[in-house]
Amino acid sequence: MKGMLAEIANMVKDFGSAPTFAEMPRKTLADKGIAGPTAAHTIEEVHTPLNLAYLTFTTGSSAFQNIVGVTFAEMPRKIQASFNVLQRAGLKAGDKVLVTYPPLVNVFSGDAMKKYGLEWRFLVRSSRDAFLAALYEFQPQAVVGESSFIRAALEDARHMGVADELPRDIVLLTAGTPLDLELLPTAKSVLNARVHDLYGCQEFGWLCMDGVPVREDIELVKLPGGAGQEMFELVVGGLPMGDSFPVSASGHVCNSEGKIITYRRERTYPEYEVIVKATTLTSTVTLGRVVRSILRIKGRIVKVSPDVVTGAEHTVLELKPDYVSAGEQPGIIIEGPQKTQFFDDMVRAQLDYQQKAKADPTWTKRS
């Protein structure tokens, strides 16, 4: 028996049904397209579940930064939304893009930028002087970054008398924070640049560009009550963003056709609860797993109605203001299939996950 165990010990070092640590597939920052410096992060290796396309983090604008999981099922629509952004901006395959903050690539996804055929580069350091140096050396056709940072850097260039050495007629895709309106005249005078205002998040990808949706499953829900200007909650694929916007007939400052004034967003109060009223699933057990998965990787609370209809032709969701904050209010119905696409993608992701084994025989669970 000792001889057999010795033979097994030698065999498992050379081959086996499970990988060694050295054989495990790896997703580096370079593989994700975000291998650039930031002053706000450390670099940490993690074991990423095979059912997730990649991990990223929320920006922390409204609370502590939280892990976001992006599933394979949602990638096609996420990539298409990014293509819509890049096409509307007039970019083409082979164009060079300077990204000032590497995690912004995760909102596109590196795969989207690769498939579109872009070449992108990051700053040597996350500073304004490094940004100006990169503009001069890289000569990009477009820049992706936060608007106030870009404005301040361009003002530096003008004060230093080096604005004439920077590229002209480029595209500025501003994101991450509300658009700094002072950037528009500065960008025009220093770079003769076209400015676009992107709204989105790590959980869902890009949602609006210059006040125009870039996905098919965007819905605007008027907030109940309140005084002053009417505000509308932005709902993507049946899930509320927690952000509200005014809607204006006069249009967005970057595009008169864009009616959603994304640079004047406010946090929604009271927040909406999402209740599943009907599902294409035949199992409420699976539906329960879907809503828990959405909570864990997207941070959105979804509840299942006690009288939910299973096996329905399409998903039906009800949005209700938080009872504690708003009292009893009428619900708003969101019906699929078009307007619940994101939720349905998460259903598909859960089904894919359940149909695949854990893939690691050392990990067992008893139900």
- For 333, residues 6+ apart whose C-beta sits below 8 A from its C-beta are 277, 316, 317, 318, 319
Domains identified in the chain and CATH numbers: 30-40+49-214 (3.40.50.12780), 272-354 (no CATH)
Rounded CA gap, 37 and 22, in Å? Answer: 26
164-169 own/partner pairs: CB under 8 Å, 24+ apart: 165/136, 166/132, 166/135, 166/136, 166/190, 166/191, 167/135, 167/139, 167/140, 167/191, 168/192, 168/193, 169/193
**170-186 pLDDT, tens digit each:** 999 999 999 999 999 99
Question: Can you read off the two tokens belonging to residue 292?
Answer: 């828990």
**200-246 pLDDT, tens digit each:** 999 999 999 999 999 999 999 988 765 567 899 999 999 999 899 99
Strands 316-321 and 332-335: antiparallel
Averaged over 298-318, what is the pLDDT?
A: 95
Residue 350, pLDDT score: 95
Q: Report which of 161, 171, 149, 154 is spatially closest to residue 101, judged by C-alpha positions.
A: 149
Look-up of token digits 């260039």: 157
CA 227 to chain centre: 32
Structure confidence at residue 132 as a pLDDT band (50, 70, 90): very high
Averaged over 259-270, what is the pLDDT?
A: 90
Structure confidence at residue 11 as a pLDDT band (50, 70, 90): confident
**335-366 pLDDT, tens digit each:** 999 999 999 999 999 999 988 866 677 766 66
